[in-house]
Chain A
């Protein structure tokens, strides 16, 4: 909301500078988003008169002007506009002037002609968004006068963001009341106005059926208005306050609303049929709003109707057909109090916002319902003539939010704020409209009807805090509590320690991306109002986000990528939804770049597997990787599920080539994820004495059927077999060599197994290792039909 400084000064005799007023407003809780200084912004622009005008010899569209700006000499100015003649008065930006658009006026040469200033349009003066040429000033404008002074531009305009609890300050009078109270000044009295009533003008017939939602409704007929545009000063004021002039009547109503906070509506009396009824809408009742939208109303919406149709959605918007237009002669003015919650709900239902609804849903000042109507009557008749009828009054404004009484404990407020409440500040609150009385610790408060936001002791604590100022409250550290700090979640930190860059991606992805890794099963959680299709479904896989990050980076000359993300996956469940915590990894491209010490190396399955194993080891866990061809989106034969104990905790594998290409990635991509919720705490490291006697290391090389090895057995099975057969002394088993090719039959693979035997109490003998070897050879033969390689 924008309020010109002069409007405030009409209400309170403020003497402070705009900057000081802005500080005061902030301290009182009214956020100032900016202070425009329209007059200062055009300082240096003066009223000039065109003495002569000649075409520029070298440019068709330029004119050479001699302009009198009241200085000793005439100014030569080259001008590109065409709407001016000799003798016209125009605004001239003199040398050294900075215009609102940032342009600094310097002496210059334009096509060989010197130019000592610039003639301005409304746009250049910051007065309008568009203009057709120079601003031609009235003939009586005094030459040489500052244009800002001549046009009586505002010294300052405050751009305010009024908080939703302070509906009473969404107008000049309310804001002025806060400032006056704070500065110890009085508000200027409002002169009462009663229009002269013409008995021939009938009072409108009004019935209010929905009294709860509309506790007061006032209407009055004005007949025979000669409608025209509102006067220039009013239009300028409205524009200054951020509103658009519409027509004479609407402008007056807006002007009064900005002044007093009471939104009003005017109907074309000749377009109404029969009496007015304020009632709840019927289900599916139709309403064609002023903004062109056609609404099917819900039962309970509050509407204003005539005999035939809905003429307004109460407090929000009038109908397209019942409003005033240029041809309107007779009007019905409406001024009412609509229940804030009612307006708010209806407004949200149809996603409508109007200046009126913003005020009604925050609560207007009941006293202004009638005063506003009188003010509007006064201005309309003064500007456009017409004769005025009696007001039809339904309800009683003095009963709305009638002065509520409240008492509370002063010490309780003091405890809440951490300061004492000096009695002197009571006067500030009194000037703000509160009734304040103290009896020892008891505070009796009468709350003014326009303060819909105050009802309990805590509300008064805020009132006291803002008038005393938050700066008065000391900074005190409370006694520290001592709690057992939770075991920190180091999941992502350990992944980062493993060489991965942590990324953070959005929790919503596209449905298309979801389907790449998760089959449609009705358990997607979709947003009703997504930003776009690309962000419309809550993710059930972290891999899509990682692939998008990979695409972004591989497209930017990164030769390889290793990233990890910790976040949640969201699934619909039978009785609601769940949010799983996952850690996900992705590797693609080079895992080692070409260096002086070695060639580049492409990331492979085992790089990522190693990273996941190291991550598990860091928390005392060991995973079993079981080949699994059924993981959606991963390439069969290069994918596995990860078991921890019996729990299926994660997945790993190579992203299907077509999917990778869909993300513009043509190198192999490997991904993994671990469901952090199923991880139990791993084994805690326990001390065991270190072996003092040397171990015995033996290598055995077996020939296995290739198909049996890869598809059925796998090295895990071989290690298990060796571990089991090796007996108690066996401490470590490792596959140290895999070979196929020359010297090995085509359907076979040579597998080298190294095992270590060790005993805590003695040095082992040849006999020990021979026995173990024999047992292992036998077991390998039995389990896999594997023979020792000769």
Chain B
């Protein structure tokens, strides 16, 4: 065998031995070692190259070519083996890091707004968007703002209907817990007139109110939203328009409204407002007592005596007003069966209604 053939054979053996070793390698570290052993400065291929010196000069390039070929074959095989092992290693690592994604997440305490607050926020927002300014007033009121200015003089039978809480004497005049948010009408009109001189004004006044009545369907404290608008030529048609828009927006569906003549001392005409039952769409159910209608609030055109009490000329200006019970609307919207749940504050109820 010539020298060159022996070198060639040597190279071939080396190459097939190396390829076998590469594919048998079990980790990246041993592959790295193999790279050094075969392709390194002192590696097996280099050793073969050293034998080239014994060859005649004209044969040397041939062997050089062989060696270089082997080098690239082995190098490529090493790359492939390495990549394969890397994929396997990653897969192994990923598998080792597998978690149970069905376990509950780590959360801090989650809060929730009280359903009455959510109702108040929603209602106030609807009126704000329609250009009504938000106003508030004291909860401990005098008789002037709660009754007299609202056209309920002392001897008026309507006073008896209010189940008023009176507080023990303080200051010069008898004080009471406001029985409705209507006194804010008076206060807001007075303040507004002092600032602006004359209407138009449009106000939404949310707040707590008190009635001396405590049973399954009455709470001694509850929430109302008072809404009123005073301007030239305000009519009952505007009242109906605003009611329709508000109620449809709040209940997130087109609701029909029905006004029934009623009596409130501070409005003339006065009307109770019903909505088409939101549960049975007017077909008749337990909630609407088979009438198809649910009473939701009281409304009317502001009585001229009320405008007079704050110095607004009722010949020139007119207005509408209505007051709604927040709990009642929230109960209807959320399907809450019992008024008392709002004030029991059971956290299970609060969490459920807050989501």
Binding site for B on A (CB under 8 A): 26-29, 31, 163-166, 340-342, 344-345, 348, 358, 361-362, 415-419, 456, 458-459, 461-462, 465-466, 470-471, 473-478, 480-483, 485-486, 492-493, 495-508, 525-531, 535, 538, 549, 552-553, 556, 558, 561-564, 567-568, 570, 572, 575-577, 579, 591, 595-597
Contact = CB atoms under 8 A, between A and B. Distances in A.
A368 to B, nearest CB: 19
Contacts of B272: 31
B139 A483 contact: no
Given A475-B241, A492-B113, 6 more contacts: A362-B157, A478-B234, A499-B110, A503-B114, A528-B165, A531-B214
B1 interface: no
23 contacts: A31-B262, A164-B263, A341-B155, A418-B235, A419-B236, A465-B269, A473-B237, A475-B237, A475-B241, A475-B244, A476-B240, A478-B242, A480-B131, A500-B109, A501-B354, A502-B111, A502-B354, A503-B114, A505-B343, A526-B167, A531-B220, A562-B111, A579-B140
Contacts of B354: 501-502
List of 5 A-B pairs having minimum Cβ-Cβ separation, nearest first: A418-B237, A29-B261, A481-B131, A163-B263, A499-B109
B260 A527 contact: no
B171 interface: yes
A461 B258 contact: no
A609 to B, nearest CB: 15
Contacts of A501: 111-112, 114, 347, 350-351, 354
A470 B109 contact: no
Contacts of A505: 343, 345
Nearest to A507: B221
A456 B308 CA distance: 14
A416 B138 CA distance: 31
B240 A465 contact: no
Contacts of B233: 415
B57 interface: no
Interface in B155-193: 155-161, 165-168, 170-171, 175, 177
A526 to B, nearest CB: 4
A456 B305 CA distance: 10
Contacts of B108: 499
A497 B201 CA distance: 35
B286 to A, nearest CB: 15
Contact of A535 (B220, B234, B241): B220
B269 A461 contact: yes
A577 B139 CA distance: 11
A461 B345 contact: no
Contact of A553 (B221, B262, B343, B347): B347
Contact of A415 (B134, B210, B221, B235): B235
B284 interface: no
B274 to A, nearest CB: 10
A335 B116 CA distance: 52
Given A497-B111, A527-B167, A470 B259 contact: yes
A490 B236 CA distance: 35
Contacts of B344: 552
B301 interface: yes
B261 A465 contact: yes
Contacts of B347: 501, 553, 558, 561, 563
Contacts of B243: 475
B323 interface: no
B76 interface: no
Nearest to B269: A462
Interface residues of B, number: 86
Nearest to B315: A412
A664 B109 CA distance: 24
Contacts of B241: 474-478
A107 to B, nearest CB: 31
B333 interface: no
- Residues of A contacting B: mostly: mixed
B104 A595 contact: yes
Contact of A528 (B113, B153, B154, B168): B168
B170 A525 contact: yes
A538 B139 CA distance: 11
Nearest to A557: B348
Interface in B25-65: none
B8 interface: no
A552 B345 CA distance: 8
A483 B131 contact: yes
Contacts of A492: 113, 117
Most chain-A CB neighbours within 10 Å: which of B108, B166, B262?
B262
A527 B165 contact: yes
Contact of B114 (A486, A504, A529, A575): A504
B131 A482 contact: yes
B277 interface: no
B167 A575 contact: no
Interface string B90-131: 000000000000011010111111101100000000001011
Contacts of B112: 496, 501-502
B111 A29 contact: no
B238 interface: yes
Interface string B268-282: 111110000000000
B269 A466 contact: yes
Contacts of B168: 525-528
Contact of A465 (B236, B258, B318): B236
A502 B114 contact: yes
B155 A576 contact: no
Contact of B238 (A358, A478, A481, A530): A478
B220 A525 contact: no
B200 interface: yes
Given A481-B131, A558-B347, A345 B155 contact: yes
Interface in B331-352: 342-348, 350-351
Contacts of A461: 268-269, 301
Interface string B209-225: 01010100000110000
Contacts of B318: 415-416
Contact of A29 (B138, B244, B257, B263): B263
A345 B155 CA distance: 5
Contacts of A538: 140, 167
Nearest to B327: A504
Contacts of A567: 208
A32 B178 CA distance: 28
Interface centre among A461, A465, A501, A556 (most CB of B within 10 A): A501
A42 B191 CA distance: 62
A418 B236 contact: yes
